[in-house]
Every structure is written in C-alpha cells, then in structure tokens.
Amino acid sequence: MVTTEIKFLFQGIIFTAAAHVLQEGHGQKEIMVRFNTRYLINQFRQYYKFTLSGGRFNVLFDTSELEDHLVKSIQKAILQHPDLHYAREAALAVAR
C-alpha cells in the first residue's frame, strides 16, 4: 500500500491529508484520503474513497455543492501528485 501526503486548496486554506492507494490493477486505482483536520472531519467526513479508472474519477453521489468543491480539490491534488496520478491527461478532466 502506497501512502503519501497530499495538499489541496479549499476555501482559501491549504489543507493536508493522508492518501492511501488501497488497490491498483486493470487500469484502476482505489485511493482513500483520510483527513487529520477536525474542521474537515466535523463538516464532512473522516475519509473519502475514490476510484480512478481510465483517467477519470467515478462520480460520488449525495454531495452538497460545498462538498463537491472539496472533492474536486482533493481529486485535483491526487492527479497532480507524482506518486498518485493515473495519467497526465487526467488532470485536464478535473480542471473542467
């Protein structure tokens, strides 16, 4: 399991979180991002699981607009991190 720290910008603040690659194979990565900041844990969740397949993240349902902004910030950080990114072109997909 690969574990690394990611940094992401959310609401004008740079946060850090631990990112763990849980599973990798068949063109897919399963990544868990665990927060260590009480603010994010209290406002949202303690962790998020993302599946990166074909250079795109699977859609998360039941998120508010603010949570959606948080998720996109985390996903962008994952794609920009050299140890976690799937494909260079995938960073462009999140920027949209």
Domain extent listing, the chain: 2-95
Predicted model pTM = 0.80
Residue-wise pLDDT for 17-32, tens only, equals 999 988 888 878 899 9
Strand, helix or coil for residue 3: strand
Tell me the C-alpha distance between 8 and 13, whole Å: 8
pLDDT of 85 reads 61
